[in-house]
Amino acid sequence: MAAVAERIFSGVQPTGNLHLGNYLGAIKRFVDLQKGRECIYCVVDLHAITIWQEPEDLKRHIREVTAAFIACGIDPKANIVFNQSQVSGHAELAWVLNCVARMGWLNRMTQFKEKAGKDRENASVGLFAYPTLMAADILLYRATHVPVGEDQKQHLELTRDIAQKFNNDYARTIAANGHEDGYFPMTEPLIAGPATRVMSLRDGSKKMSKSDASDNSRINLADDADAIATKVRKAKTDPEPLPSELEGLKGRPEADNLVGIFAALSDGAKEDVLRDFGGAQFSAFKAALVELAVEKLGPIGGEMKRLMDDPASIDAILSDGADRARVIADQTIRDVKDIIGLVRG
């Protein structure tokens, strides 16, 4: 079976507090990419349990990410939207890829080092193997492109290394089973735009993150207009007015971050924002940013709440998506078994 010409895959973890970084770095791009392409968007719940999740919270967060996908504009009929644990192929292929990936490769992953912190001995094995599960998510659908934020670049490079090694190790049986040019594609990351790495509103050197202890560090997709306004007004800045040229943002991480957020929310570039606000004080710029953020995010939060009031409908969307994902995934698992020499009934 030949690989499809272009297939998009990406995922978001249901770990709560979906934020502006997740939206601008990932979900907004999922929406833009869906036109005319085959897109598979996954709530990666098996990734979430690599760190402790309260069972009741996890269920709610799985539905919340699904609601966010739909509220942001992803069409679950035209695309495949589902949660990872409903398609067993993810875990099956992850095991195979664990046997392809090398310890040295995983030892270099910076996200594991950041998330495990100093207490590495106490981190779950799943957290260490997280990147091979991510490779499995992508390769299970032989996806050609993956829209992600900047923080996932290293994991995408690893996915390519794993795909390459699999294709090399099994070149003979891949060809014998009728697959030309290797079995897995060399998946391309899609990391573009002015907000591929949205930073904390409290510290311009730290990524905006769900797990930051300070809620004021992030704008949550579920925040109402008042919360958005308060957080933007409290966002850390410096005493200088905004520059008129990109060059002037160098060494000013907080200013750079707010300009990037404005640009992404207005579908423009940082240059456009500086053309309009160069020389302005932060008080004026922040007021305009609040207005824009409320205009763009307010309806998303409202729609998420509406969808969350009907969990049965969300579950039906996930179930339908999983049925359609399984058709592709099962074929890959059959192919992989044939390629690596496992007997199947």
Q: Which residues are catalytic?
A: 115, 207, 210
Distance (Å, rounded) from C-alpha 40 to C-alpha 46? 16
Q: What is the DSSP track for 106-122?
A: HHT-HHHHHHHTT-GGG
- Given a contact cutoff of 8 angstroms between Cβ atoms, the answer to whether 176 and 167 are in contact is no
Task: Assess 209 for contact with ligand AQP (CB under 6 A).
Answer: yes
CB of 21 to ligand AQP, least distance (A): 3
* Residue nearest ligand AQP, CB atom distance: 25
Radius of gyration from C-alpha coordinates of the chain: 21
Closest by CA position to 228, among listed 300, 281, 278: 300
Answer positive or negative: Cα dihedral of 226, 230, 233, 237.
negative
Task: Assess 25 for contact with ligand AQP (CB under 6 A).
Answer: yes
Answer positive or negative: Cα dihedral of 57, 52, 315, 41.
positive
Contact with ligand AQP (CB under 6 A) among 9, 21, 97, 217: 21
Coil, helix or strand for 269? coil
* Alpha carbon 310 to chain centroid, angstroms: 25
CB of 198 to ligand AQP, least distance (A): 4
- Given a contact cutoff of 8 angstroms between Cβ atoms, the answer to whether 270 and 259 are in contact is yes
| Residues between 134 and 153 that touch ligand AQP (CB under 6 A) | 148-149, 151-152
CB of 150 to ligand AQP, least distance (A): 6
SS3 content of the chain, % helix, strand, coil (to 5): 60, 10, 35
CB count within 10 Å of CB 261 equals 26
Contact with ligand AQP (CB under 6 A) among 8, 26, 221, 293: 26
Helices (H) and strands (E) in the chain, counts: 15, 5
CB of 42 to ligand AQP, least distance (A): 10
Task: Assess 211 for contact with ligand AQP (CB under 6 A).
Answer: yes
Task: Assess 16 for contact with ligand AQP (CB under 6 A).
Answer: no
Nearer to ligand AQP, 257 or 332 (CB): 257
| Residues between 189 and 208 that touch ligand AQP (CB under 6 A) | 196-198, 207-208
Nearer to ligand AQP, 145 or 207 (CB): 207
Distance (Å, rounded) from C-alpha 272 to C-alpha 262? 10
Contact with ligand AQP (CB under 6 A) among 37, 60, 210, 337: 210
CB of 304 to ligand AQP, least distance (A): 16
Task: Assess 62 for contact with ligand AQP (CB under 6 A).
Answer: no
Which region among 11-19, 181-189, 249-257, 306-314 touches ligand AQP (by CB under 6 A)? 11-19
Contacts to ligand AQP by CB under 6 A: 12-13, 15, 21-22, 25-26, 148-149, 151-152, 196-198, 207-211
